[in-house]
Structure 1
């Protein structure tokens, strides 16, 4: 059996505004289990970056340890990347972001990497509003260590080991909203039509953006008793609305003037177009979203879509007023202005 990925591409493959084909955004051949939801998420990232016409060399892929953290090898082969220590991706990403804010940071993590060993770092990453997209490939188990329940496993949910989980789960969306994240969404690896626009919107958002993506583990957590299996999520998925990203200056034609629709302008002028099914859900209001998430839990539903959006949020660079020039581009005269500048500064403090 060959494990080499074919390099053949149709000569008339579609190209984006940069002239790139989708192949320019792909990576190595996946070694994950066949049918793993993580591969579907990787493909959605590829599609989103292709459709946004992002330059691969302007993207930095960050990850920790786990099945999910292997996936950056499977997309954006021509981008920067750093595979960090278990649970430590947030601090490494923060440091890289402070040094070079001109890159687009896409962090990929798992429910164990985020909600267990990395929980402390994740919380501070959110509250500092580091400008990045953080995708949690959430399967409810530790896939690399044979399927133990993770901190996001639902109460009473049983993996293939057969023992129902006895503990309350962590809800990463609720946590991110309570800590001030300006973009919070939840999706399902098997729902590409919803996930790709959510990724595009998250990349365009100024500040920290979280997408908690349910991603069934076909080896340890895709059985009848699991609330993160393909069948269970499909049967219990409740979408907050249909989301799409409308590029800047593209004419928006309203097909149904009487529908409940909202056009939300992002910082760079792009617009998220949201058609809401639930009239009671106000995505700009934390209390409304948190209530909706709790109600969904009581009804055994997985609430997906764009859950919370705050276009006025400030990224870390705006909060602490960092240099307009990325730190990695500062020269010696910028970093060491001399004794006269130091003395003037000391005088200003006296």
Structure 2
């Protein structure tokens, strides 16, 4: 975390939103993440979405767990409520806060290690209970704070920075969220601001559990050849990431 405040100076031509706030009013402290980290791009997208939605910062409650992703709430919406929980327990704390005060807008930010491993059960129950929240997973496929081990979302066949091949199947958070009953589910890419900002805006306005799995490359441990979550790989496969799957209507099948 950092407590270095950004300068109060801003360009006089910056346009305020409907509440009279500037975009700078939705920012937080200076980021201490690695330069080029996809998580900072997600923070910028959240800032832009909140600014465009005219969200009153004091009505937002942001929660996180443990990991690089869980540092990011310090870098956006500095005038909102915030709580950093223990590893994997953010969904439960968010659920309790939601029960205590349903007037706030709840934004949960987590990582693939935080939500797909130790917090998988917490994630599952928050979704199945239909908690009114926006849940963003910053998915880089590695444990960045512990030097780049494979996470539960690492794709089978992908290689670590040291050349180790992952032989385990990946947990698909999008499929899991759909199965558990999330009423808004999306996948995006931290390097695609034009797509990510509208998705976050839609999720924040959605009444019910809204989940966004955001591929967010780790420049330190998972941005090399052989990685399926590097900037180059995701950009080359962005069409597949953005594709909408449509189930065509079929004739009913009747059985005894």
Normalised by the length of structure 1, the TM-score is: 0.68
Which residue in the other structure is 1:122 paired with? Answer: 123
Q: Structure 2: how far apart are the matches of 1:79 and 1:24? A: 11
Inter-partner Cα distance in structure 2 for 1:4 and 1:76: 12
Residue number in structure 2 paired with 1:153: 154
Q: Distance in 1 between matches of 2:5 and 2:193?
A: 26
Check conservation: 2:64, 2:90, Cα contact below 8 A: yes
Q: Which has the larger radius of gyration?
A: 1
Query: Are the counterparts in 2 of residues 62 and 89 from structure 1 also a CA contact under 8 Å?
Result: yes
Alignment partner of 1:50 is 2:51: yes
Deviations 1:235-270 (A, max 9, x none): 0112676xxxxxxxxxxxxxxxxxxxxxxxxxxxxx
Task: Provide the rounded CA distance (Å) in 1 between the counterparts of 2:191 and 2:174.
Answer: 19
CA distance in 2, matches of 1:58, 1:213: 24
Aligned residue in 1 for 2:213: 212
Unaligned runs of 5+ in 1: 242-276, 284-350
- Deviation at residue 8 of structure 1 after TM alignment: 1.5
How far has the Cα of 1:63 moved from its partner? Answer: 0.2
User: What is the aligned partner in structure 1 of residue 246 from structure 2?
Assistant: 281
Distance in 1 separating the partners of 2:15 and 2:167: 50
Runs of 4+ in 1 over 3 A off after TM superposition: none
Tell me, in whole angstroms, the C-alpha distance in 2 between the residues paired with 1:90 and 1:144.
21
Q: 1:164: Cα distance to partner?
A: 1.1
Structure 2: 5+ residue runs without aligned partners?
249-256
Instruction: Identify the residue that residue 34 of structure 1 maps to in structure 2.
Output: 35
Q: Is the 8 A contact 2:5 2:28 kept in 1?
A: no
Residues 236-247 of structure 1: pairs in structure 2 closer than 5 A:
236-238=237-239
Show CA shifts across 1:133-189 (max 9, x none).
000000000000000000000001112121011100000000000111100000000
RMSD: 1.5
Q: Does 1:141 align with 2:142?
A: yes
After TM superposition, the score normalised by the length of structure 2 is 0.93
Give the superposition deviation at 1:21.
Answer: 0.4
